[in-house]
Amino acid sequence: MWTGIDPTVLVTGAAGQIAYSLLFSIAKGDVFGKDQPVVLLLLDITPMLPVLDGVVMELQDCALPLLRDIVPTDKEDVAFRDLDAAILVGSMPRREGMERKDLLKANVAIFKSQGAALEKFAKKTVKVLVVGNPANTNCLIAAKSAPSIPKENFSCLTRLDHNRARSQVAMRCGVPATQVRNVIIWGNHSSTQYPDVHHCLVNMSGSELACFEAVKDDAWLKGDFIATVQQRGAAVIKARKLSSAMSAAKAICDHMKDIWSGTPEGEFISMGIYSSGNSYGVPEDLIYSFPVQIKDKTWKIVDGLAVNDFSRSKMEATAAELMEERDTAVSFLGV
Ligand SMILES: NC(=O)c1ccc[n+]([C@@H]2O[C@H](COP(=O)([O-])OP(=O)(O)OC[C@H]3O[C@@H](n4cnc5c(N)ncnc54)[C@H](O)[C@@H]3O)[C@@H](O)[C@H]2O)c1
Ligand SMILES: *[C@@H]1O[C@H](CO)[C@@H](O)[C@H](O)[C@H]1NC(C)=O
Ligand SMILES: *[C@@H]1O[C@H](CO)[C@@H](O)[C@H](O)[C@H]1NC(C)=O
Ligand SMILES: *[C@@H]1O[C@H](CO)[C@@H](O)[C@H](O)[C@H]1NC(C)=O
């Protein structure tokens, strides 16, 4: 896998809480390979540079064998140069009393600027993962602002939702999460997302069962299970007084590792990708979470899965939400 050049990886929001877990995992080889050296570029806003210096000191103090170089900066023309991978975690947080529209406008400004910086400075093969919320729409704005980079190279994080769904089913069945495969997260990374287990398999007592057969509680799978996954982010905030960070960092690693090395045979994962309007009736020009398989750093939507009326209505509701947000966001692009 080693190409002769160490991957150059940007993490934005690098002084924040997700990055605090994420940077360690990347630097120790969880994402790009256990023998693959990496160069880390760390971007945050100017007032956070002193904090970022502390993070850099800690990374140095980990004395990791694979970390070739660390570059902290508040400048896009430094952060986005010659990138192989960009993990865009930093975004404008919701503040007390802030209007939804103003929040979206602030994020459009950030992702327009970062998209333009990708266009100008990054490699054309760069893989961009957007985490900062609203992740789907921020990702779309970044992709639109970098027209010479293929839209397929942009994705947003719904792997945390995917892992949550997998784990809920596993706990219910009393098996490790690794024995549950092919859950699907459809749509937006929000409470309208649809965690779908109609194609999920659970390996129990030596053989693989359809999820509904393994769980034997349709009411739970169609009710509380869905609500628990949809509202898990809020539940973590309520308990921790901070949003998910350890689990978000783990999901980012899973997502980027699969882009880099591919998904296991027979398994699919969920990620927010550009919809060209050709799969599952999802409208085009949205970043929408689909089931995908990845090979040779190229994803393919898992097509042809049966969709019943229950699923269809939930998939449409989350698409409608995203269309509305896209149209507002795009109207801010010109200003
Ligand atoms: N998609 C997902 O599954 C998922 C899961 C959890 C969190 N999130 C989102 O991830 C984001 C980060 O979460 P966190 O807990 O690390 O937040 P945090 O507030 O701890 O850290 C965010 C960091 O981003 C920085 N930042 C803000 N604007 C920036 C810009 N323009 N350029 C570079 N850096 C910038 C901030 O200064 C801060 O250091 C939030 O938007 C959160 O909602 C997404
Ligand atoms: C889509 O999900 C994001 C992330 O949770 C959220 O911020 C945004 O408001 C959602 N979109 C709409 C239109 O509700
Ligand atoms: C299911 O689990 C058993 C062990 O309990 C294992 O031998 C088998 O390989 C697993 N099957 C799959 C498809 O993962
Ligand atoms: C990214 O774009 C390159 C072409 O620059 C392409 O070969 C690759 O398959 C794309 N990656 C993904 C994840 O689709």
* Residues 18-63 pLDDT 10s: 999 999 999 999 999 999 999 999 999 999 999 999 999 999 999 9
Q: CA 102 → CA 98, 106, 116, 131, 332, distances in Å? A: 7, 6, 21, 19, 10
Q: What is the mean pLDDT of residues 103-119?
A: 98
pLDDT of residue 334: 81
Residue 97 pLDDT exceeds 90: no
Last residue of a domain, one of 156, 175, 209: 156
Ligand having the closest approach to the CA of 231: 2
- CA separation for the pair 158, 271 (Å, rounded): 5
Answer whether 282's CB lies under 8 Å from 275's CB. yes
Ligand having the closest approach to the CA of 266: 3
Residues 6+ apart with CB under 8 A from 127: 84, 85, 86, 153, 155, 256, 259, 260, 297
What are the two backbone dihedrals, phi and then psi, of residue 282, each rounded to the nearest 5 degrees?
Answer: -75, 130
Of all protein residues, the one whose alpha carbon is nearest to atom 2 of ligand 3 is: 206
- Per the domain annotation, does 150 fall within a domain? yes
Consult the annotation and say whether 240 binds a ligand: no
In this structure, are strands 180-181 and 154-156 parallel, antiparallel, or unpaired?
Answer: unpaired
Q: What percent of the chain has pLDDT over 70?
A: 99
Last residue of a domain, one of 96, 127, 156: 156
Do 106 and 206 lie in a common domain? Answer: no
Residue 4 pLDDT exceeds 80: no
Tokens of 108: 């459009």
- Per the domain annotation, does 331 fall within a domain? no
Do 228 and 316 lie in a common domain? Answer: yes
Answer whether 67's CB lies under 8 Å from 27's CB. yes
- Per the domain annotation, does 333 fall within a domain? no
What is the residue-averaged pLDDT of the chain?
96
CATH number at residue 129: 3.40.50.720
Instruction: Please tell me if the CB atom of residue 53 comes closer than 6 angstroms to any atom of ligand 2.
Output: no
Summarised one tens digit per residue, pLDDT across range 262-273 is 999 999 999 999
Do 189 and 229 lie in a common domain? Answer: yes
Do 67 and 191 lie in a common domain? Answer: no
- Per the domain annotation, does 105 fall within a domain? yes
- Per the domain annotation, does 1 fall within a domain? no
- Per the domain annotation, does 266 fall within a domain? yes
pLDDT of residue 335: 65
| Closest by Cα among 282, 298, 299, 301 to 290 | 301
Do 84 and 228 lie in a common domain? Answer: no
Domain count, the chain: 2
For residue 190, how far is its CA from the centre of ligand 1 (angstroms)? 16
Cα of first residue to Cα of last residue in the chain, in angstroms, is 44
Last residue of a domain, one of 105, 121, 156: 156
CATH number at residue 189: 3.90.110.10
Do 196 and 61 lie in a common domain? Answer: no
For residue 28, how far is its CA from the centre of ligand 3 (angstroms)? 29
Residue 1 pLDDT exceeds 60: no
Residue 332 pLDDT exceeds 60: yes
Atom of ligand 4 nearest to the CA of 152: 14
pLDDT of residue 2: 46
Do 138 and 173 lie in a common domain? Answer: no
Do 116 and 168 lie in a common domain? Answer: no
- Per the domain annotation, does 175 fall within a domain? yes
pTM: 0.97
Do 202 and 84 lie in a common domain? Answer: no
For residue 292, how far is its CA from the centre of ligand 1 (angstroms)? 25
Summarised one tens digit per residue, pLDDT across range 263-317 is 999 999 999 999 999 999 999 999 999 999 999 999 999 999 999 999 999 999 9
User: Residue 146 belongs to what domain range?
Assistant: 8-156
Answer whether 310's CB lies under 8 Å from 226's CB. no
Beta strand ranges found along the chain (DSSP E): 8-12, 38-43, 67-73, 85-88, 127-130, 154-156, 180-181, 184-186, 194-196, 201-204, 207-210, 269-275, 286-295, 298-301
- Per the domain annotation, does 332 fall within a domain? no
| Closest by Cα among 63, 62, 61, 81 to 71 | 81
Please give the positions annotated as active site.
189
Do 163 and 152 lie in a common domain? Answer: no
Do 191 and 318 lie in a common domain? Answer: yes
Summarised one tens digit per residue, pLDDT across range 209-250 is 999 999 999 999 999 999 999 999 999 999 999 999 999 999
Q: CA 54 → CA 20, 35, 47, 227, 314, distances in Å? A: 11, 26, 13, 39, 44
Do 136 and 255 lie in a common domain? Answer: no
Residue 89 pLDDT exceeds 60: yes
Tokens of 317: 């509701």
Answer whether 104's CB lies under 8 Å from 335's CB. no
